[in-house]
Structure 1
């Protein structure tokens, strides 16, 4: 066994002890096709208002553009598979459905420290330079993870693993060391289209392509404006993210048969009541979602999502709580409250509309009183 091979064996063993479930290595230039694919998606506008994707396109397209000295990429995954079917919550409209990945501590915080420790081991043993990345940097982890043999990008564009289905958090270590690469994983979706068929907003123009502008995960988390009208009813009670395409992947059955997920959900984030959430003030929001990625979207966007969920509940018992948000200082919240009230109690909406319109200074919010919501 060569010195380099021995080092890789040691790195894999240490990765396992740190809690990583998957480990693979790819050459930094393993995916020369990525710049063209990225530029095509950007040209089609599929990134929505995530302007940072276009601004970092050149660096994002290749690890060697991000760091010219990079020679190898170590990709690591942590299984976060849920203990129960996350789609079952969609049938309980009084509750809020939070995406599985956001029901625990922010995964950036969970993974980054582990990556730094592993990268430190590599640097000490080899003298190589290293850089650590978890999602926030312009690095395309999913196709690189495919090149490193962790799995393949499914038709829903998420990485699919034979061992963990669609439930892997990914992290990456770039290094200037030349490490032996793993065999790339072949795409193994076959003729299955479950992930495409279940999408409530038809966000996939074609298999392996995602238009974020139609994706509820994007709209509820990244989108800063009001939820477009056509997507509000399909949003249901999804108040942060959307797991539909991940949850129906047939490969998930192997995740349930494999070792238990490393990350367990906070119990209070599994079945939160919309009635409690809509009453949160800023301090309460920050306290309740401390350590959770949900906190990053801020109270106003979160309440926007909660009010859409309430509007879809069909429960007129929510009306007093919705009316209480009609005077919110934030336009996003007021607009969503109007839509929810008009859905739940048209008569009450008509009763208060004149007074609210007289005080309204935002034209987009004012339009919520008259726009067709049928």
Structure 2
């Protein structure tokens, strides 16, 4: 099996599975319970939060545990908008954000907020100058992802953060779900106010994640109840999930430090090989993230290509696994202004540190044979 769909989800590391199982068996008590078992669970939760804060170089009280990227993005965006709407009701994002961001902004539009969707270039880049042009006196939030989940475009987060920091009313949120462990972004250096990470994109578990909320920033909570997570996310804490997330974060950061160049070389190798094939259009920028490669084969439906490759036990995807509307059309590529035939035939290859060159070669071989077959120019076998 060759798994090239890591931007949709990753396979949990064995070490992550191990710590989750141990924590589930031993530390099963509710951390809010007053008895000894609850106190033991609470101590471990505090230690886990501390470890994550140290890895992210932030303060412990700035870490909010969530169920993943979608919740983290919604809490950041809606939390800022609803809490600070008396200061202004104008918010800014780009036209190529993840559905959990785009749909959150559209939801706020229904509540009377005014949204500016900044346009991008052919490869999905957001121009910081365009962001600055759109900031007004009543702007309270700017939300831009660090790495585009479909194209792998790396956005100029530091430059945008430098701009937004000059506007005290405007908070800056970064969706770093696709960037964590592959494209470094220092919260210690970047002037980012809110920052989303998901566990299952870094070889952790689905249903786990973290939202960084800079100290002093107030959010309107999405969940009300027992006041867990600094009154921002009520609900019994998922302690095994927190521990698993911490372990996954530790391991992916080590991989990034030691193996990111090999990952980038593998992506570049695929980029070059695919670029040389007739009828293939590369949609990703050449200097994109080291794990994402988007391409189109005009004339072939992407889901047909995906299923054909799956027959060879090779797994890729079409676009964001979280997109539901227009199954053949990529909203991201539409925003980039590509042609209709390119837009409706997009495929995404997304790598992990577990992939290698021999898998890339096997993929290229199967891909070429499959394209020829689907165009009636060869045999699939």
- Scaled by the length of structure 2, the TM-score of the pair is 0.25
- Scaled by the length of structure 1, the TM-score of the pair is 0.25
**Structure with the greater relative contact order (CA < 8 A, sep ≥ 6): 1 or 2?**
2
Larger radius of gyration: 1
Write 1 or 2 for the structure with the bigger share of helix.
Answer: 1
